[in-house]
Amino acid sequence: MASEYPPSMLGRLSFVLGKLHLRCLEYETAALEPLGIDVKQHAVLTVLADEGPMTQQELGQRLGIDRTTIVAVVDGLDRAELLERRRSPIDRRAYLLTLTPAGTHTQHDGQRRVDEAERALLGTLDETERPILSDLLARGLGDH
């Protein structure tokens, strides 16, 4: 990867992260395509699997996805019967998004595929370096 880019740009974090982001999306998109879901849909399934039912608004906030986009993503998953909207027992005006059994299965299969895609993408890093890279990048997302 590095040899195809100007050496002067490889020291620029924004350049390297931008290129890596695009390549990561390509790998994950290809990995998830057989399941009929995209990267954002898999992210929604994963958050619901990890954190449990929540409102569409909460989900959009957790993922940093704007209101219009989260509506489209959730509607697609609802049509595919991977999640369902259930009335909140606390606030009868609100609906909680809940994974269906098919949604749980798709999320697990998708996670396996995404993990394989990440291993392929970061093949030059060994098993101990990949989690270190993820941890360091996640720390960069923290509040300043």
Contacts of 113 (CB under 8 A, 6+ apart): 31, 32, 34, 35
Which domains occur in the chain, in start order?
38-112 (1.10.10.10)
Check the CA dihedral 41-43-49-52 and report its sign.
negative
Provide the 10 A C-beta neighbour count for residue 112. 11
Q: What is the pLDDT of residue 100?
A: 98
Does the pLDDT of residue 79 top 50, yes or no?
A: yes
This prediction's pTM:
0.87
CA distance 126 to 21: 19
Q: What is the pLDDT of residue 26?
A: 96
Encoded tokens for 105: 């299965």
Does the pLDDT of residue 143 top 80, yes or no?
A: no
Q: What is the pLDDT of residues 13-37, one digit of tens each?
A: 899 999 999 999 999 999 999 999 9
**Residue in the block written with tokens 């989690």:** 131
Phi, psi (rounded to 5 degrees) for 95: -115, 140
